[in-house]
Amino acid sequence: MRFGKFVFFGLLFSCIGVTAATHPNRIIIDTDLGKEKISKEIYGHFAEHLGNCIYGGLWVGEDSPIANTRGIRNDVIAALREIAAPVVRWPGGCFADTYHWKDGIGPRAQRPAIINSTWGGVTEDNSFGTHEFLDFCELIGAEPYLCVNVGSGTVQEAADWVEYVNSDVRSPMTELRQKNGREKPWRVKYWAVGNESWGCGGNMTPEYYADLFKRFATYLRAGNLCRIASGGIDTDYHWTEVLLQKTQKVQHLIQGYSFHYYTVCHGWDRKGSATRFDENDWFHTMKNTLVMEQRLQRHIALMDEYDPENRIGLMADEWGNWFDVEPGTNPAFLYQQNTLRDAVTAALYLNIFNNHARRVKMGNIAQTINVLQAMLLTRGDQLVKTPTFYVFKMYKVHQDQTLLPAHVLCEAYTHDGKTLPGISASASKDSTGRIHLSLCNLNPGQQREIEVELRGLNGVNKIRGEIITAPAMNACNDFGQAEKVSIEPFHGFKKRKNSVNLSLPGKSVVTLCIE
């Protein structure tokens, strides 16, 4: 929505009497009107058997010279604990619908090797399976999220997996688990019933998948489960409507609905380089990230129509930037670098998810290590924390806190005759009353002066700030080099009685803690 050279953007698309004459960039936060909780699972992650995400990424094996705990890299454990990773989705992705979980249990030397026909045709030796993944989740303090094989698997196979993982009643599955070294069940809550069933998960129609979902979900019984249905492509609203219609009479079987969206620079045939880009590429990456919110809102509107009680959570369980692979790497491994541009789009995604917290209950960035918009990059015993990692570290203050309505009036970011909202923001209040406001400036070249009005707050006591930015749009962190993008203290603000004035540098992400 545009008004002259100004655009509105935020949780509510209303300026509440604000005009350009008062201040060109203004954010109004209703500090006493929050009622929705920002689920910590919005800050979740995704680890697929793809490229070097699992092998060499988080798993090196117990005999590796790289420091590890039961085969899992210690540096990865420490890094994911640093950002309070709340949930991890596994084993896919497309790989999930070729994965048979019993291949990945028992003595590793006896596990059968298979071909990873989805990602590169390489050998998958199944040394990392159910026990290893659930051990990894316990080590980093995250909830596991398992995706069952619907495309090439059976209902019995899926039901056995749930029983193996969750049941404490004596049965062949629980005895098998105990034989393999785990006495107590893990009590896994989150279970996806297939992945992208419209495509790599079986090329199904929504009508067929909805019936299959009901069949599988009926037999996933062990524990208090959150069963998550596969969504269609981001523009397939028919799939969403069919699935919601066909599950209305069995509402006890569905607790979540999967939504996937990837930002590509100019299109799937012009994804572009992750590091070699100009402002035109920057602008279109921001533009196509904002398109995601329009798609998200349309799916939410359908969910509100068929699920007015808001029982079913929207799970954005794959999202992020997708660029061309780095030159000289396996094109099927989807390895890309990660720059300040990725940090700004990550903040934009997270602001959008926060502001839709009533319906969005989970997000899982793709992916955790060495694949697409990764948190971490590894090479041998080296580990790099990407700019996106630092956004997740900065934003962890919003996990499980109360969403505050934020109304944003801002100058447009204009490039080549096209305009976008120049500022994105979200805010929350924690249990002690502290307010955290996170903002990003989409314009790479212009600083913005912003007035933040804190309605309902009885004065500002103190403020602390953090910033992520760099001189270059394509600044990145790389092996053997000092970090170019990380979190630094931010002092570009002045507190007033019930407001804050701040100078938000171009291409930056900032979080303020207001007391």
30 and 405 Cβ atoms separated by less than 8 Å: yes
Strands annotated E in 165-295: 190-193, 226-229, 256-263
Rounded Cα–Cα distance for residues 314 and 198 (Å): 18
Residues 357 and 493 in one domain: no
What does residue 251 show for φ and ψ, rounded to 5 degrees? -60, -25
> For residue 18, how many C-alpha atoms fall within 13 Å in the half-sphere facing its CB?
22
Q: What single string gives the DSSP state of each residue in 355-366?
A: HTTTTEEEEEEE
Provide the domain limits for residue 386.
Answer: 40-400
Residues 290 and 268 in one domain: yes
Rounded Cα–Cα distance for residues 90 and 291 (Å): 27
- Among residues 48, 124, 196, 451, which one is catalytic? 196
Within a domain: 412: no
Residues 375 and 470 in one domain: no
Within a domain: 10: yes
Rounded Cα–Cα distance for residues 292 and 50 (Å): 24
pLDDT tens digit string along 107-146? 999 999 999 999 999 999 999 999 999 999 999 999 999 9
pLDDT at site 22:
57
Alpha carbon distances (Å) from 514 to 278, 306, 429, 486: 36, 39, 9, 22
pLDDT at site 222:
84
Residues 27 and 165 in one domain: no
Within a domain: 405: no
Give catalytic status of residue 175 as yes or no: no
- Domains: count for the chain: 2
Alpha carbon distances (Å) from 158 to 178, 243, 437: 19, 20, 42
Alpha carbon distances (Å) from 504 to 45, 72, 234, 380, 449: 29, 40, 32, 38, 6
Residues 469 and 321 in one domain: no
Within a domain: 306: yes
CATH number at residue 452: 2.60.40.1180
Give catalytic status of residue 132 as yes or no: no
- Among residues 318, 451, 453, 466, which one is catalytic? 318
Residues 381 and 436 in one domain: no
Residues 13 and 93 in one domain: no
CATH number at residue 175: 3.20.20.80
Residues 80 and 118 in one domain: yes
Boundary residue ending a domain (347, 370, 400): 400
Residues 58 and 6 in one domain: no
What does residue 6 show for φ and ψ, rounded to 5 degrees? -110, 150
Give the pair of three-digit tokens for residue 176.
Answer: 């098998």
pLDDT at site 199:
97
Residues 6 and 104 in one domain: no
Residues 244 and 384 in one domain: yes
Strands 435-441 and 122-124: unpaired
pLDDT tens digit string along 413-423? 999 999 999 99
Within a domain: 411: no
Within a domain: 417: no
Rounded Cα–Cα distance for residues 387 and 475 (Å): 9
Low-confidence ranges of the chain (pLDDT < 50): 1-21
* Residue 203: count of CB within 10 angstroms of its CB: 11
Boundary residue ending a domain (351, 369, 400): 400
Residues 447 and 357 in one domain: no
pLDDT tens digit string along 60-69? 999 999 999 9
Within a domain: 409: no
Within a domain: 410: no
